[in-house]
Amino acid sequence: MGAKAKYHGPAFGGLEIAESLSDAQIDARARELLGQLTLEEKIKMMSGDLPFWVGMADMLGGGYADHPWVAGAIPRLGIPGVRFVDGPRGVILDGATTFPVSMARGATFDPELEERIGDVIGRELRAMGGNFFGGVCINLLRHPAWGRAQETYGEDPIHLGEFGAALARGVQRHVMACAKHYALNSMENARFTVDVKIEPRPLHEIYLRHFKRAVEEGVASIMSAYNSVNGEYCGQNYTLLTEILKQQWGFKGFVMTDFIFGMRDSKKAALAGQDVEMPFDMIHRQHLRRLVDEGEVPLERIEDAALRVLRQQIRFAQGRDPKAYTLDVVGCEAHRKIAREAAEKAIVLLKNDGGLLPLKGVKKLAVIGKLAALPNTGDGGSSNTRPEYVITPLQGLQEALEGQTEIFYADGTDIDEAMRLAGVVDVLVLVLGYTSQDEGEFVSPDSMVELAKNFPPPTPEELPIAQKLMASMIASNSVPNAMPPGGDRRVLTLHPEDEKLIRAVAGVNQRVVVAMMGGSAIITENWRYQVPAILMLWYPGMEGGRAFADILLGKVNPSGKLPCVFPRRPEDLPYYDINARSITYDLWHGYRKLERDGAEPAFPFGFGLSYTSFKFSNLRLDNPVPDRQGTLICALDVTNTGNLTGATVVQCYVAVPDSRVERAPKELKAFKRVELRPGETQTVSMSIPVKDLAYYDPESGWTVEPATYRLIVGQHSLDGQALQAEFSIL
């Protein structure tokens, strides 16, 4: 586990002041500082501070999570530079709180909780000396094979946008936040080489909408992706960075590259609107000063980039009390409680035949599976955290059932042993699924051959470092210590040995609970009809084991809902080639595609069971003919018709049956989590801005068409008990 938290210097240096400044004052202060910079210092602000070979030696030596990565520090003027630390399941520095992965938090359907998580992350980061959080990951999940699916919130752009906005809001109470990876980054193995081809309508409606939402929320920075879009790398793509982000959306923050390989051409990147090359002085070091001197990159572009970075540093340096950022806040009890709450709300109960759960009166319990006893918080790459401890599922159950239940543990590798246990216990709990060995961040040796061409020539002082690193890379045909195994998933089922184990024990004891760990959808068709209870744990964070025990034993009523559809067959999903050099993205993925194609999922988008039951009734609209610039407001009554306090999620979908353009059968437009006591009825009001009903027209932009619309309000995307109402836009 991780060590105690460390202090890494003042987050905002000489810029920090107690009072709050207006936007005009921030701009004036930034321009004043800009006027004091030399040309060399202005150019320096567009790159990471460490020289490339020194930085690579640090990073590959295991230093990625040891300190903030600084860009644009000007000590003589008290400018600290941006001090980047990664995420998204918590600050990756030692001792910080580790939350469930983003996909798990998406399953809570609770943006208010996500904002509180952001508040914890921002507070802890500032206390440790960072000022820039790089973990607002809002790439849309197009296909569950994506190795880094766990780092985002789900497959729907409205849901994704609200969670990204909530995390940014919370983090930015304290430090700058960065939304990433802009754009269309949803493949891991091919992330450096794939060119994603896409038409304007799916680009804006499906793959950029949530980034626009983060910009509207005031996110300080956007990180460009590694991949190409329509023939140009994202880090030097003028259409994405300038035309859409800065001009159409009016983004006032700064753009930064993804690390090391985020741009290939200094001139193209600068002119496209790229503001900061991270984390080293690499490509710009070789070319940018000459390009400015020769007039190929105008001075105005350099000054615009520097001004954008200065504004955000000043914006977040002011108006906060330094006494609120002592190291004792890092990983503190209050923050760990929020991590536990998030894990409890994230766990999805997928099946509970015969009411097996919650467990009651169990005298002998078998817990089976390596993952039951393994700290398993998710990917081991750039998002990996270092908490002081991780409570495993086995530990959580042992702690909760001490003195009440005899617990037997087996790792499941010996099926005969597992079957023997199945014959002598009341209930079996199998914890199975994936680790960072199966899915996660990945750098292939083949990619390194091509990417290494961009490495700058070492100076005489750097030559020994460069020779040592290159020799190591050539010898291993890889990057030492760079990334663990992982990458995109090859299959969407559990491991064959896991499925064999499930079938074997279910043949001996019918009281079997299967709890799955993983970053996105898992296909369960080979075994799900043979067991009565199934839960999705995701990667549940440092307090996940306790949350798991709370759910199993009924101390907490499960309320998680799937943020991505769980299909029956891979054939129902979009085309996916993990080694693609070129791929086309369109409007169709997830619940949209399955419903259009008439493909029944195993578990639909938004689905999740409870230990109680809910009824929706009395749906009404405040204005069945809303104005195009207005808001549709609906209300309904939600009743807890069971015997336990619990929570459900009111999900509002909209269909346009007679649309003049191709549309999904229905699309999520709003959602709200509601908690109710037994027998309690609550009137829930939901708002849908009419602009969110628009489609994107390549000629005229966002277009709200005159039509009759159908509002569908249920507990998941295929809820047969959903309420419906029609409204018109003239």
Question: In terms of Cα–Cα distance, which of 118, 123, 124 is closest to 136?
Answer: 118
Q: Tell me, what's the pLDDT at 560? A: 98
Asked whether residue 481 carries a pLDDT value surpassing 70, the answer given is: no
Residue, of 483 and 578, whose pLDDT is higher = 578
Work out the pLDDT band at 475, boundaries 50, 70, 90. low
- Pull the structure tokens for residue 551: 């759910």
Per-residue pLDDT tens digits for 35-89: 999 999 999 999 999 999 999 999 888 899 999 999 999 999 999 999 999 999 9
Which element (helix H / strand E) includes 551? helix 544-552
Q: Say if residue 75 is exposed, middle or buried (CB neighbours under 10 Å; 0-12, 13-18, 19+).
A: exposed
CB of 180 within 8 A of CB of 167?
no
Residue 601: burial class (beta carbons within 10 Å; 0-12, 13-18, 19+): buried
Q: Smallest Cα–Cα separation from 177: which of 78, 316, 45?
A: 316
Cis peptide before 157 (omega within 30 of 0): no
- Among the ranges given (86-95, 297-306, 439-448, 590-599), the one the predictor scored with the smallest mean pLDDT: 439-448
Q: What would the pLDDT profile of 648-669 be if each residue is shown by its tens digit?
A: 999 999 999 999 999 999 999 9
Q: What is the mean pLDDT of residues 400-412?
A: 97
Radius of gyration of the CA atoms of the chain, in A:
26
Q: In which element (H, E) is residue 512 found?
A: strand 512-517
Which residues have a Cβ under 8 Å from the Cβ of 484 and sit 6 or more positions away? 380, 381, 436, 437, 440, 441
Could you report the per-residue pLDDT of 223-270, keeping only the tens digit for each? 999 999 999 999 999 999 999 999 999 999 999 999 999 999 999 999
State the DSSP code for 79: B
Structure token pair of residue 389: 């401890």
How large a percentage of the chain has pLDDT more than 90?
A: 89
- Which DSSP category does 355 fall into? G
In 3-98, which ranges are continuous DSSP H helix?
23-36, 39-44, 52-58
Distance spanning both ends of the chain, measured CA to CA: 60
Q: What distance in Å separates the CA atoms of residue 432 and residue 536, rounded to the nearest whole number?
A: 10
Q: Which residues contact 76 (CB under 8 A, 6 or more apart)?
A: none
* Burial class of 289 by CB neighbour count within 10 A (0 to 12, 13 to 18, 19+): middle
Cis peptide upstream of residue 589 (ω within 30 degrees of 0)? no
Residue with tokens 């910080």: 96
CA atoms of 123 and 18, how far apart (whole Å): 16
Closest to 591 measured CA to CA, from 562, 560, 563, 565 = 565
Distance CA 660, CA 111 (A): 33
The candidate with the shortest Cα–Cα distance to 256, out of 270, 272, 276, is: 276
Asked if residues 534 and 522 have their Cβ atoms less than 8 Å apart, the reply is no
The first and second tokens of residue 132, run together, are 């820039």
Inform me whether the pLDDT recorded for 478 exceeds 50: no
* Type of residue numbered 51: P
Q: What percent of the chain has pLDDT over 70?
A: 98
CB atoms < 10 A from the CB of 448, how many? 17
What is residue 268's three-state secondary structure?
helix
Is the per-residue pLDDT at 477 higher than 80?
no
- What's the rounded Cα separation, in Å, for the pair 704 and 689? 11
Is pLDDT at 190 greater than 50 in this prediction? yes
- C-beta separation of 532 from 502 below 8 A: no
Taking CA atoms, 528 is separated from 49, 144, 560, in Å, by 53, 19, 19
CA distance 191 to 146: 10
Over residues 550-560, the pLDDT tens digits come to: 999 999 999 99
What are the structure tokens assigned to 181, written together?
């990876």
φ and ψ of 366, to 5 deg = -105, 130
Q: How confident is the model at residue 480 (pLDDT cuts 50, 70, 90)?
A: very low
**Helical H runs in 89-208?**
102-106, 111-128, 157-171, 200-202
CA-CA distance, 541 to 378, in Å (whole number)? 8
DSSP code per residue over 328-354: GGTT-HHHHHHHHHHHHHH-EEEEEGG
Query: Residue 470: its pLDDT value, please?
Result: 77
pLDDT, one tens digit per residue, over 333-367 is 999 999 999 999 999 999 999 999 999 999 999 99
Q: How confident is the model at residue 624 (pLDDT cuts 50, 70, 90)?
A: confident
Whether residue 711 contacts residue 724, with contact meaning beta carbons closer than 8 Å, is answered with yes
Q: Helix/strand/coil (H, E, C) string of 562-588?
A: CCCCECCCHHHCCCCCCCCCEEECCCC
Q: Which residues of 156-169 are buried (b: 16+ CB within 10 A; e: fewer)?
A: bbbbbbbbbbbbbb
pLDDT digit string (tens) for 293-323?
Answer: 999 999 999 999 999 999 999 999 998 888 8
Q: What is the mean pLDDT of the chain?
A: 95
Residues of 80-108 as b/e, b for ≥16 C-beta within 10 angstroms? bbbbbbbbbbbbbbbbbbbbbbbbbbbbb
**Using one digit for the tens of pLDDT, what is the confidence trace for 112-156?**
999 999 999 999 999 999 999 999 999 999 999 999 999 999 999
Please name the residues in contact with 205: beta carbons below 8 A apart, sequence gap of 6 or more.
157, 587, 695, 696
Identify the pLDDT of residue 483. Answer: 56
With cut-offs at 50, 70 and 90, classify the pLDDT of residue 625.
Answer: confident
Mean pLDDT value across residues 495-500: 98
List the Cα angle 434/438/442 in 5-degree steps: 140
What are the structure tokens assigned to 291, written together? Answer: 């390009």
pLDDT for 1 equals 59
The alpha carbon of residue 7 and the mean position of all alpha carbons in its chain are separated, in whole angstroms, by: 26
629: pLDDT confidence band, cut at 50, 70 and 90? confident
What pLDDT score does 323 carry? 85
Non-local CB neighbours of 53 within 8 Å, separated by 6+ positions: 456, 458, 462, 465, 466, 469
Grouping H, G, I as helix, E, B as strand and the rest as coil, residue 259 is: coil
Q: Considering only the C-alpha atoms of the chain, give the largest distance between any 2 of them, rounded to a whole number of Å.
A: 81
Q: Would you state the structure tokens that stand for residue 209, as one six-digit string?
A: 């909408």
Other C-beta atoms closer than 10 Å to the C-beta of 298 total 13
Q: What is the dihedral of CA 452, 141, 84, 447, to 10 degrees?
A: -10
